[in-house]
Structure 1
C-alpha cells in the first residue's frame, strides 16, 4: 500500500499543511504558499495520548520512557511529537518512533494522535461541562474518560471493519479506518477530504477553513467589537420610531422597583449582593433561569447591555469563546471613525444571538474581505472542533 496519511482523532484534519495545487488555486488562500501561512502552522504541532502501562508495546526497541506531561496516574500525554508522510503510522518523540492507532495485546489500550490545539479545546470543553455538574453528582468529565472513550470507539471501528470485510468478502486495505478513527459525525465534514494521497480539497477549495487555526485568532475581541458598533451605526440612520422598534428596551433595561412598602426581604437586598450571587452562576442561561423563578428575582437581576457584555467577556454565553476579556475596550479608529460609544449602550445581546446562531456575516468590500475571513474561518473551525470535543465527552466508554 505504501505510506499512509494519518488524521487527528478530534478534528479529522491532517498533521501536515495541505499544499495549494494550481488547479485548485483561488483567492480564498491567504498566501501563495500555504506552508508559509501562519494560520496553518498549528497543524504541525502534535501530541500523543495513551496509557503509560502500554507505551512499550507501541515503541520500536530499545524502549525509552518518553516525557509525560500528564499529572494523572496512568494517563500519558506526550511532549510535542513529529510526523512525516514517510513515517506512516509512526510518530516520533525525540528520535523514538511510536505506533499510533493500534491496540495493545493485553489491554486494548491505543496510542492516539491529536493536534496540540485540539487538546487545548478538549480541555476547555471538559472544564465547561464540569461547571454544570452539581456536588455531589456524577463523575466530572476528564481527559482519562475521553481517552477510554477513544479506545472504545477504536474497538467499535475494528468490529465494524471486520463486519464490512465479511460482508464484501474483501479483507485487504479499504477506505474505512485506514487513516484514522471513524465516527458517525464524520468530523462535521472533514472526513470528506481524506484520501490515500492526503488531504484532498474539492475544486472550489471549500476545505480551507477546516485548516485555519482554531485557538490563536489575533484581535478577535476587537474584531467582534467592531461588528457591534457597525450595528449601532446602521440603527442611528433610521427614524426614531424604527430605531425604537429594532432596539426595543434591550439597550438599557432598568426594571422599575416596587413600592418600598411592598418589598419582600429578597427585593430589599442591595444590588451589590445580587451581583455577587450572579457571579457564582456558571452560564448565562443559569442567570436567566434564576431570574424567572419569582418576581423578586426578576426585579433585582437586571438584564441590560452591560450584563450581556460581562457574560460575553467571561465566556459564559458562547461556550467556545473564552478569550474575549477585552471585548468593547479597543476600537479601530481607521475602520470605525465614529466617536467612542459607552460599551453599555452597544447591542451586545444582538452579538450574542448572532454568535449563538453562527450568523456573523459582514458586508465588506473586497479589500477588507480577506481580513474578515481571517477571523470568521478560524472562529467557525473552533466552533466545529468544540462540538466534536463535546461528542467525545458523551461517547460510551465500553
Structure 2
C-alpha cells in the first residue's frame, strides 16, 4: 500500500515552492516530477547506515556502484555493459549541458522534439546553439515522429537530444521508430544523446535502450539515474553510459572542467541499494501508478469532463489534452490554479506544441488523487 507522505516544511520544491510558482498556497501540488511516496525501505536503511558514520567527506565511487548499474542494465533491459562505459555524474540536466559544450560549437543545430522537458530547449539556447524543433505529431489522441521533417533537420544538426521514454507525452518509442532514428542519424553523422531517466517506469510496452543497438553504440551517449524510479532526485546521483572511448574521454574532460566531480556519499549508497534490492518494490510501485492512471481516466470519462488522456505508456506523468474545454491556454491555466485549486505543469512550458495541455503527476496516493479529481469536477461544474 502506497501512502502519500506529508512533505511540507522539508524544503521540497513540489510543496514548499508551490506558492512561489503558482502565487497561492491553497492548492494541491501535482506538478514537478518527483513522487509523494516514500523511497523503498532498502534505500532508507542504506542512507541511515551511512548517516550513522559521523564523517561525510570527499567520496569516491566504489566497485559496487559500477556493478549495481551493470547488473541493473543486464537484468532489466538485457543489455550487457562494461564498467569503463559508466561515467558517474551529478545529474542528467548538468550532463546535457556538458555534452552540448563537448560535442558542438556555437551556432550548431541540435534537434529536439517538442513538447519536451524544458531543459532540453533551455540548455541548447544557453549554449548559443540553434534549436531544430522536430515537433511531434499529435494525431488521433497519440504522438508520432514526423520522420520526413526529422531527416530534413538532421542535415543541419550536430546532435539529437532524444527523450526515451518521452516526457511529457509518455510515449515509449518502439524498435522500428528507434531504428529509423538511428538510420537517419548515422547517415547525417548526428550524435544521439538519449535521456532515459524514465526507462524503469514503463507499463505494457518494452523500453529499448538506444545504446543496445549495435549500429549506433559508438555514436551515442545514454543518460540515466535512479532518481525518478526510487524518488531520490535530491541526492544528485546520475550516470552516463558512453561505449565509445573517444566520446567518453571528451565528455569526462568537459565534466572535469566544471569542477563537479565529487560523489555524494548518500546518493552512492542509495543507488547501490536501489539497484541491488529495489526491484520488487518497483514492481509494486508500477502497479500502484498504473492504478492511479486508470482511476484518473475513468473519473474524467464517468463525469463527462472534456479532458482526454494521452496514453501513458511510461512515467508517472499524465499528459492531459484539455482543448475540448474550449478555453484559451491562459484561461485554462487560471482554471486549474484558481478554480480547481490544483498545481499542474503548464503545457506551454514544454513548448508551443503544449498549448491546450496540462501535465499531471500521479506519483501520490489514491486518496490525494481522489481529492484532486473532486476539486476538478467541482470547478468544472462552476464554469459549465
TM more than 0.5: no
TM-score, reference length from structure 1: 0.24
Select the structure that is richer in strand: 2
TM-score, reference length from structure 2: 0.25
**Relative contact order, higher structure (CA 8 A, sep 6+):** 2
